[in-house]
Structure 1
């Protein structure tokens, strides 16, 4: 399982809303492949990053927690029997998420970070809990910073 973020216009989002699971997945792939659309892949780091930011797995999103919502989105496209977990975050929700990301204190959290605890919580991918925590933190920080900077710039520049 991997995670990616895709920045789209409100009109594009509206066009996705009525689609069923297969058509939605196909359409998102088309949008991702268009070089005009900004997207970012965080591969398998989504759950460990969510747990690092919030203390819990992304499988248990925290409604109203802007750091949780930065990773898992705010509005799921609900399909009971489909493997894809697709969510969206609307434009007016971004300022609070951007603010939370900008003021997240990596230094404080690094001191509290216990990778063995994440292993006990079965944070995905489970094998990652055997890695060196000092090497893993920069792996998480890089996409977090890139994503934070990207949404802030796009939000401010384009109002999208």
Structure 2
């Protein structure tokens, strides 16, 4: 499963809300293919590790009302159907709260504190990520955090929303 983050305006968000669950991913894919580079970030498989670095919990159990958790998994899902693709969103007002919370985070300090053993114990996705060298993982995570933070800042500055897909 990989995570992708996309800046969408209000009309695009409404379009995603209005489409049926079985067609939502296709609409999102079309939006992603036409998006400018500064409106899309692909975290690949690092989404769960990033969530863990920020919250000390797996993204499979998001932390309610926690902007750092919402940074990775979004605020609202489009569908409650467990068989549907995981696609969530954060409206602009939530994006503002998330950006504010990110301003309080010393991510390097969180990475320094994170233990590879805890990734294994918490069964953080992807399986085996804890076997990598911590220095390499920290470098990838720091880059991913920075790219995603910049995407949220761009969304805030442009008055837009962020859609998260983890499929």
TM-score class normalised by the smaller sequence? over 0.9
Residue 83 of structure 1, CA deviation: 4.8
Residue 81 of structure 1, CA deviation: 4.3
Distance 1:141 1:107, change over 3 A: closer
The structure with the greater share of residues assigned to strand is 2
CA distance in 2, matches of 1:66, 1:6: 17
Mapped contact 2:92–2:155 kept (Cα < 8 A): no
1:42 match: secondary structure? strand
TM-score of the superposed pair, with normalisation by structure 1: 0.92
Q: How does 1:6-155 map to 2 (within 5 A)?
A: 6-36=6-36, 38-155=39-156
CA distance in 2, matches of 1:97, 1:155: 10
Mapped contact 2:7–2:151 kept (Cα < 8 A): no
For structure 2, the residue ranges without an aligned partner over 5 or more in a row are: 161-167
Task: Report how many aligned residue pairs link the two structures.
Answer: 159
| Structure 1 runs of 4+ with >4 Å offset | none
Q: Answer 1 or 2: higher relative contact order, Cα 8 Å, separation at least 6.
A: 2
TM-score of the superposed pair, with normalisation by structure 2: 0.89
Residue 14 of structure 1, CA deviation: 0.7
CA root-mean-square deviation: 1.5
1:126 match: secondary structure? coil
Residue 46 of structure 1, CA deviation: 0.4
